[in-house]
Amino acid sequence: METIIKTEDLSIAFGGHWAVSDVSIDIKRNIFTSVIGPNGAGKTTFFNLLSGQLSPTKGRVFYKGEDITKHSVIQRTRNGIGRSFQITNVFPNITVLENVRLAIQSREQVRFDLFRHFKSYRQFEEEAMNLLETVLLAEKAEIPAASLSHGEKRKLEIAMLLALNTEVLLLDEPTAGMSLEEVPAILNVIKNIKEQEDRTVVLIEHKMDMVLDLSDRMMVLFNGELLAEGTPEEIMANETVQAAYIGGDPNDSTTT
Amino acid sequence: MMKRLQTSTWVYLLIAFVLMLLPFVKDDRWFLFLMIQIFVFAIFAMSYDLLLGYTGIVSFGHAMFFGIGAYSVAVTMSRLDSTFSSFLLGVVVAVIISGIVAFLAGVLTLKLKSHYYAMLTLALAGMFLYIAERWRSVTGGNDGFTFRIPELPGVLQDHRNVVIYLFTLLSMVLLFFGMKRLTESPLGRVLVGIRENDQRVESLGFRIMPYKVLISVVSGVIAALAGVLYAVSLRFVNTQVFDIEVTLDALLMTIIGGVGTLVGPILGSAIMNLSHHFLSDLASVHWIFQRWVILFGIIFILVVIFFPNGIVGTIQKKMHERKMKQRVKQVEKQSAKN
Ligand SMILES: Nc1ncnc2c1ncn2[C@@H]1O[C@H](COP(=O)(O)OP(=O)(O)OP(=O)(O)O)[C@@H](O)[C@H]1O
Ligand SMILES: [Mg+2]
């Protein structure tokens, strides 16, 4: 199978602390990979390196065979790496609908049109509304994003990511902070993406049980290092993983 | 097919129409002059709000563009003859110089943290003030100079102030609708995104630099046009146009009226100019009315505390809240029926 994202000795240090250290991994196209690991393991930092928010101290990132280590966030997004953020990262004082609409506008490359009214691109708004329905946020379309609850903001993040329609979706703890009733619906959205089998999904999750049956592959980060990589079965059977992560606190099912 | 205009557009056009009739009812010199000031500073404050309210860029040197506009047209018209073509030439010079300065200021600093733009514009404005003071042969130094504007044909010459009033009003209306379209365009929506969260705009795949530079140029050029109108309406220019107080006026008008709206700066300009005019008359009652900076300092603080969204912003918010409440009620009714 074809590799879409590859990292080589990917490492980053903050001060003297290696938040991600020597992570080398191959992510295959149209495969669902979960990244698990305890708090502070370096999962989000690893995403920041893939999507370009941070540049590595050492190592390289490849996308479709091309070295993109030096590419900006913008270039990577335009080339097909989209991401959602764990710490909510939306446009607070504009409406929920407009948040999603902006993402669609970017995807459609409507960048410097300054003479037409933005509503003349009606289909953008319709599509944004559909996406909000998908993530169960349609009634909130007209309120400013700042007044959403934490869980709702996570849904908005997902809608914005879906709007970009990128080949690679990096999801950072998409269900964290949602109420328990909402989680299945959102997992369903993610499951649907997976079933279409035309996207590469990398999903960070804190709770291992939640992603076991969703994932094709799993990677375990611990103290910035890649502890193990394999199928869910392999990960479950892996003793190091058991000892370091699952064994550490078997009842740990809190999310941050 | 005729496109239906927004209701608000009709309201704006109606107000413009009423304003157009005003000088035919009341054509006192002081009154026309006061209204012209309101229009000029409304244009200037709107251009400032493109930066501050729509894109989140703070400028401390916006007066520089105002001054460039004022001096460009004044110098051109006093050097050449006072004809319409030299007026037009003056406008072109104003647009070119302000555009170049705004472009350079933008390119040099907008990649950096936001306060660099504020500092650089402040420094540049100081530099332009210095040049205007020192380059006496052209600018007449501190005292400035008067210049003549072209004679108007026939009876119009007798009502020159009314003509200038209408011309400034027309400019304001056209620029208002132009800026309104800009802010409601897809590009304008990206600007708002930049104001809200510039990093997120990048992670959606927009490069933010071109937007910031572009709006810096648009805003600078429009501010220069306000300066042109200012000089022409006074037939006089001096170094005060470069004063930091001019920038502060724009800031106050924008904040009092409503940041992130275009009607706000117009309203802010009206409030500031009207109160400046009428409060100064009260100077004989109490000295505080002469210290109008103090007064506005106080008003400013009160506005920021009680109406952080400005007048227009507060009204918009109230209206939106009412609309949302109604919608919630509708939804509740619907679900009660089912
Ligand atoms: N910008 C930064 N500057 C300094 N230290 C950082 C920065 N970002 C992350 N870190 C540190 O790097 C380590 C890894 O953080 P990271 O956010 O990647 O963990 P995580 O696996 O995503 O944890 P969580 O499950 O809590 O989200 C932590 O010790 C964190 O304090
Ligand atoms: Mg994290």
Contacts of A89 in chain B (CB under 8 A): 197, 199-200, 203
Closest residue in chain B to residue A160, using alpha carbons only: B204
Give the domain range for residue A156: 3-245
Measured from the Cα of A54, ligand 1's closest atom is 1
State the CATH number of the domain containing residue A131: 3.40.50.300
Q: How far is the CA of B319 from the centre of ligand 2 (A)?
A: 39
Instruction: Determine, yes or no, domain membership for B228.
Output: yes
Helix (H) or strand (E) holding B80: none
* pLDDT tens-place string over residues B17-42: 999 999 988 888 899 999 999 999 99
Q: Which residues of chain B have pLDDT under 50?
A: 1-2
CB distance A75 to A52 below 8 Å:
yes
Instruction: Determine, yes or no, domain membership for B144.
Output: yes
* pLDDT tens-place string over residues B157-182: 788 889 999 999 999 999 999 999 99
Chain B residues with CB-CB distance to A under 8 A? 181-182, 184-190, 192-193, 196-197, 199-207, 210, 214, 324, 327, 331
* pLDDT tens-place string over residues A118-171: 777 889 999 999 999 988 899 999 999 998 888 889 889 999 999 999 999 999
Ligand 1, atom 16: closest residue by C-alpha: A42
Task: Indicate the pLDDT class of residue A250, thresholds 50, 70 and 90.
Answer: very low
- Report the first-to-last Cα separation within chain B, whole angstroms: 41
> What pLDDT does A254 receive?
43
> What pLDDT does A104 receive?
95
* pLDDT tens-place string over residues A160-218: 999 999 999 999 998 887 888 888 888 888 888 888 888 999 999 887 778 888 899 99
Q: Please state, as a whole number, how many other Cβ atoms lie within 10 Å of the Cβ of residue A16.
A: 5
Of the listed ligands, the closest to the CA of A43 is 1
Give the pocket of ligand 1 (CB within 6 Å).
Answer: A 14, 19, 37, 39-45, 86, 206, 256
Number of independent structural domains in chain B: 1
Number of independent structural domains in chain A: 1
Q: Which residues of A234-253 are buried (b: 16+ CB within 10 A; e: fewer)?
A: ebeebeebeebbbeeeeeee
Q: pTM, whole model, 2 decimals?
A: 0.87
Give CA–CA dist B291/A69, Å, rounded.
Answer: 59
> What pLDDT does B154 receive?
80
Mark yes or no for CB contact A83/B185 under 8 Å.
Answer: no
Give the domain range for residue B103: 26-306
Instruction: Determine, yes or no, domain membership for A253.
Output: no
Give CA–CA dist A164/B51, Å, rounded.
Answer: 28
Q: What count of CB pairs under 8 Å joins A to B?
A: 88
- The complex's ipTM? 0.84
Residue A253 has pLDDT above 60, yes or no: no
Helix (H) or strand (E) holding A16: none
* pLDDT tens-place string over residues A121-135: 889 999 999 999 988
> What pLDDT does A46 receive?
96
State the CATH number of the domain containing residue B120: 1.10.3470
Q: Please state, as a whole number, how many other Cβ atoms lie within 10 Å of the Cβ of residue A172.
A: 25
Give CA–CA dist B208/B311, Å, rounded.
Answer: 30
Q: How far is the CA of B116 from the centre of ligand 2 (A)?
A: 32
What distance in Å separates residue B271's CA from the closest CA in chain A?
Answer: 27
Instruction: Determine, yes or no, domain membership for A224.
Output: yes
- Strands A32-36, A200-205: pairing is parallel
Spatial neighbors of B48 by CB under 8 A, at least 6 apart, are B59, B62, B219, B223, B247, B250, B251, B253, B254, B265
**Chain B interface, best mutation among A48, A54, A91, A131, by max B CB count within 10 A:** A91
